[in-house]
């Protein structure tokens, strides 16, 4: 394997590890904490708002930086979608994502991290998520 391939894999592994640790430390892999955050009419726990606010701030900085570059650190092209269309697919996808998040207490990234810890709830969520992806691909 070339040194460039090792570098790409190393960047990917380090990024994934950092992302996973951030999700664990932020409480995003705990479905009870997520459900408490979404329960604004009951025992609301606003602490995940700080986690999401931090993620949005980092994301804004990263996208601003990416727009000024042609290539990523790995050497890959940077392709930022330019579409601003809000259609039924976007709205429906957002509603399905939110419903899955509220019912399961997971979204895709934290579910994969929690799956690594042996969480049965994460396993069921990931199985359902993969089934949904396969159904989508059938269209």
Give tens-digit pLDDT for 58-80. Answer: 999 988 988 888 888 777 888 88
- Annotate 79-107 with DSSP letters as a single string: ---------HHHHHHHHHHHHHHHHHS--
- Annotate 26-86 with DSSP letters as a single string: HTTT-HHHHHHHH-TTSS--THHHHHHHHHHHHHHHHHHHHHT-SB-TTSPBP--------
Give tens-digit pLDDT for 106-128. Answer: 888 889 999 888 889 899 999 99
The residue ranges of every structural domain in the chain are 3-138
Q: What is the CA radius of gyration of the chain?
A: 17
Residue 117: per-residue pLDDT = 86
Tokens 């380090």, residue located: 14
Residue 86: per-residue pLDDT = 94
Q: How would residue 91 be classed by pLDDT, with cut points 50, 70 and 90?
A: very high
Q: How far is CA 23 from CA 10, 56, 64, 100, in A?
A: 20, 14, 23, 18
Q: Is the pLDDT of residue 27 over 80?
A: yes
Is the entire prediction scored with pTM above 0.75? no
Residue 123: per-residue pLDDT = 93
End-to-end CA distance of the chain: 37
């Amino acid at each position: 394997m070339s040194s460039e391939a090792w570098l790409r894999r190393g960047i990917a592994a380090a990024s994934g590890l950092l992302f996973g640790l951030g999700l664990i430390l932020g409480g995003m892999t705990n479905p009870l904490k997520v459900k408490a955050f979404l329960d604004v009419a009951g025992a609301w726990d606003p602490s995940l708002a700080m986690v999401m606010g931090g993620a949005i701030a980092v994301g804004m900085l990263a996208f601003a930086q990416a727009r000024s570059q042609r290539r990523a650190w790995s050497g890959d092209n940077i392709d930022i979608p330019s579409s601003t269309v809000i259609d039924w697919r976007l709205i429906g996808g957002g509603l399905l994502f939110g419903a899955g998040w509220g019912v399961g207490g997971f979204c895709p990234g934290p579910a994969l991290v929690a799956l690594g810890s042996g969480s049965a709830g994460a396993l069921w969520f990931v199985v359902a998520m993969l089934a949904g992806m396969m159904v989508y691909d059938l269209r």
